[in-house]
């Protein structure tokens, strides 16, 4: 069994991004990212801080617009429209989840698709599904980079994606399909989850349920990617029972240190891509 070390790869990517940012700066261009954070959700606050820190370390300019929980949709939209017009801002990211009174789809659709570094705009999602160049959501993009780093070719593999959200599972499945895997997508209403996971050469799990995937659900020699992040007794664990599943897997991502750091690295890459596209 080999560990897919997302932490190490993310550091390598950060260095590459840093070099490219330095080059852009010599041409008078500083890539810029605007982050919109609404409310006081501690996890969201932590993620936004991590993103800002990563930007700083790579020389990307970042600004966080912090907004109170009871802010109106109109005020968020006005801020996004301002950022859409700002020539120093290449990427715009709205940290999810948004408070219940805000229509998330409506907000995401206001972001200029050329600045949509999270890849959540339906325009980019549509292009991704057609196999066209687009901004791809950072988490599934990070998974693909990790597979590439370890020379894992997904062509022809039976892949099973557990979790079908717009930001994780669906784009993950689209990327795997675009790379010619045969893809099974499972979700909360899937009957007999094990019958699907057990057949998978490549099992990707992004649900948010600790130990959802146990050893008996995994094929011998499978590649296992755990996207889940769960806080249990002050510890961060994934959706896969790592201790037992790792004994059966050929490759597996740890949590933490697997997909999480790759997500942030891909945000930096997407911001750089936006700056290179538009300036």
Instruction: Using CB under 6 A, list all residues that contact ligand NAD.
Output: 139, 162-165, 167-169, 186-188, 190, 193, 206-209, 212, 227-230, 259-260, 263
Nearer to ligand NAD, 79 or 139 (CB): 139
Query: One of 90, 112, 116, 118 is an active-site residue; which one?
Result: 118
Residue 185 CB, nearest distance to ligand NAD (Å)? 9
Cα angle vertex 260, ends 256, 262, to 5°? 125
Nearer to ligand NAD, 31 or 140 (CB): 140
Residue 171 CB, nearest distance to ligand NAD (Å)? 10
> CB-side exposure of 277: number of CA atoms within 13 Å?
18
Whether 51 is a known active-site residue: answer: yes
Query: One of 51, 115, 269, 273 is an active-site residue; which one?
Result: 51
Q: Could you say which DSSP state residue 237 is in? A: E
Residue 265 CB, nearest distance to ligand NAD (Å)? 10
Nearer to ligand NAD, 24 or 205 (CB): 205
Nearer to ligand NAD, 120 or 272 (CB): 120
Report the alpha-carbon distance of residue 159 to residue 152 in Å, rounded.
13
Task: Find the DSSP H helices in the chain.
Answer: 6-26, 42-58, 73-85, 104-108, 122-129, 138-149, 169-178, 193-197, 242-245, 259-278
* 159 torsion bin: left (phi>0), alpha (psi -120 to 50), beta (else): beta
Phi–psi pair at 225, nearest 5 degrees: -115, 120
Query: One of 95, 170, 201, 239 is an active-site residue; which one?
Result: 95
Report the alpha-carbon distance of residue 11 to residue 77 in Å, rounded.
34
Report the alpha-carbon distance of residue 242 to residue 94 in Å, rounded.
32
Whether 85 is a known active-site residue: answer: no
- Check if the beta carbon of residue 249 is closer than 8 Å to that of residue 222: yes
Nearer to ligand NAD, 13 or 168 (CB): 168
Residue 74 CB, nearest distance to ligand NAD (Å)? 26
Residue 78 CB, nearest distance to ligand NAD (Å)? 27
Catalytic residues: 51, 95, 118
């Amino acid at each position: 069994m080999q560990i897919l070390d997302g932490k190490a790869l993310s550091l390598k990517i950060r260095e590459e991004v840093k070099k490219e940012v330095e080059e852009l700066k010599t041409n008078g261009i500083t890539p810029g990212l605007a982050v919109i954070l609404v409310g006081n959700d501690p996890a969201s606050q932590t993620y936004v801080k991590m993103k800002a820190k990563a930007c700083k370390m790579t020389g990307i300019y970042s600004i966080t617009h912090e907004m109170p929980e009871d802010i109106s949709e109109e005020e968020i939209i006005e801020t996004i429209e301002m950022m859409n017009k700002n020539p120093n801002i290449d990427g715009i990211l709205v940290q999810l989840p948004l408070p219940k009174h805000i229509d998330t789809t409506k907000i995401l659709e206001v972001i200029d698709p050329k600045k949509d570094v999270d890849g959540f705009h339906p325009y980019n999602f549509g292009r991704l599904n057609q196999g066209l160049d687009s901004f791809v959501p950072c988490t599934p993009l990070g998974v693909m980079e990790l597979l590439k780093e370890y020379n894992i070719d997904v062509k022809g593999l039976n892949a099973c994606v557990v979790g079908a959200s717009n930001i994780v599972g669906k784009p993950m499945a689209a990327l795997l399909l675009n790379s010619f895997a045969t893809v099974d997508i499972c979700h909360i209403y899937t009957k007999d989850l094990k019958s699907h996971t057990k057949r998978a050469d490549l099992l990707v799990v992004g649900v948010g349920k600790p130990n959802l995937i146990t050893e008996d659900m995994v094929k011998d020699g499978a590649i296992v990617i755990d996207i889940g992040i769960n806080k249990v007794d002050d510890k961060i664990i994934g959706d896969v029972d790592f201790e037992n599943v790792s004994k059966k897997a050929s490759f597996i991502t740890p949590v933490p240190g697997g997909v999480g750091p790759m997500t942030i690295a891909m945000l930096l890459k997407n911001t750089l891509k936006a700056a290179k596209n538009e300036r």
